[in-house]
């Protein structure tokens, strides 16, 4: 029991000195950001988002957790044709991609049903429906190579980009110019959590280490004393004088 207690104290002191997180001294920093994308037939826009990199003067970074959540993807595909039209149809396949440091790449996708207008013109529209939720949604980084992009005095950058592919069918010789429209919008929130061991205060570490070390000679002295007592307590044989 005594030795286990001393070993535990020494392990804690060593963890503080080397910056190794333990259950007793690990701390976390949480940052939240978001990315989005809006895309239509005329333009497309994505977004960049940033969180602060980990400042190594705070301690030793051991783990980074990234959670991408509340991801959404919506949109529509529409067709509007004049009365002289022979008809047409459209639908889209769309996706939203979130990328970031250490190879983060998460994708969600969706599509619309086919919006159709027959001969004589008219209008029709179909909403985008998500078919594949965002995946993967959670990352845990612990290797030195993966942690490196999160360490420094700058920013860790994330990006959100949207894409869609239109599938237009026109029965008119003019190609139904201006008759089709498509648009998507997407967004996602991102949590970045740094797990690290704080830099110990020199006075605190000195006191803890000195306390641990001071216990060792006390135990050695006690053990040594008992050992000598056992060695010295040898039986003494007294020679007898008999009359034989």
Q: What pLDDT, on the 0 to 100 scale, is given for residue 25?
A: 78
Q: What is the pLDDT of residues 169-223, one digit of tens each?
A: 999 998 899 999 999 999 999 999 999 999 876 655 555 555 555 555 545 455 5
Reported as type and span, the H/E element at residue 8 is helix 2-18
Spatial separation of the C-alpha atoms in residues 55 and 216, rounded to whole Å: 37
pLDDT at 199: 84
Least confident of 19-28, 89-98, 120-129, 233-242: 233-242
- Asked if 75 and 91 touch (Cβ cutoff 8 Å), the reply is no
Residue 239: predicted pLDDT: 47
56-79 mean pLDDT: 97
Phi and psi angles of residue 37, each rounded to the nearest 5 degrees, phi first: -155, 140
Q: Over the stretch 86-108, which tens digit does the pLDDT of each residue have?
A: 999 999 999 999 999 999 999 99
Going along 5-87, which residue ranges are E strands?
Answer: 27-40, 44-45, 47-52, 59-81
- Kindly state the average pLDDT of the residues 137-163: 98
Q: Give the model's pLDDT for residue 50.
A: 97
Measuring CA to CA, which residue among 35, 58, 57 is closest to residue 46?
A: 35
What are the two backbone dihedrals, phi and then psi, of residue 214, each rounded to the nearest 5 degrees?
Answer: -65, -20
Q: What is the mean predicted confidence (pLDDT) over 74-87?
A: 97
Residue 2 above 70 pLDDT? no
21 or 161, higher pLDDT: 161
Q: Where are the domains of the chain?
A: 1-25+200-215, 26-198
- The pLDDT-based confidence of 4 (bands split at 50, 70, 90) is low
pLDDT tops 90 at residue 128: yes
- Report which of 71, 54, 69 is spatially closest to residue 141, judged by C-alpha positions: 54
In tens, the pLDDT along 38-56 reads: 999 998 889 999 999 999 9
Percent of the chain beyond pLDDT 70? 72
**Cβ distance 50 to 157 under 8 Å?**
yes
């Amino acid at each position: 029991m005594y030795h286990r207690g001393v070993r535990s104290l020494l392990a804690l002191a060593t963890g503080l000195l080397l910056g190794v997180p333990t259950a007793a001294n690990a701390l976390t920093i949480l940052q939240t950001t978001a990315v989005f994308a809006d895309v239509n037939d005329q333009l497309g826009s994505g977004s960049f988002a940033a969180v602060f990199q980990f400042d190594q003067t705070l301690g030793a970074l051991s783990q980074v957790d990234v959670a991408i959540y509340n991801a959404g993807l919506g949109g529509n595909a529409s067709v509007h044709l004049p009365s002289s039209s022979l008809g047409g149809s459209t639908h889209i396949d769309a996706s939203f991609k979130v990328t970031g440091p250490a190879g983060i790449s998460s994708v969600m996708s969706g599509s619309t049903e086919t919006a159709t207008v027959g001969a004589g013109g008219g209008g029709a529209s179909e909403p985008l429906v998500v078919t594949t939720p965002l995946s993967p949604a959670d990352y845990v980084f612990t290797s030195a190579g993966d942690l490196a992009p999160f360490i420094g005095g700058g920013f860790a950058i994330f990006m959100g980009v949207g894409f869609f592919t239109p599938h237009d069918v026109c029965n008119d010789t003019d190609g139904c110019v201006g008759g089709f429209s498509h648009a998507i919008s997407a967004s996602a929130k991102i949590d970045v959590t740094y797990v690290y061991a704080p830099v110990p205060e020199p006075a605190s570490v000195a006191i803890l280490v000195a306390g641990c070390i001071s216990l060792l000679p006390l135990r050695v002295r006690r053990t040594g004393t008992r050992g000598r007592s056992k060695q010295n307590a040898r039986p003494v044989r007294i020679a007898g004088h008999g009359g034989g």
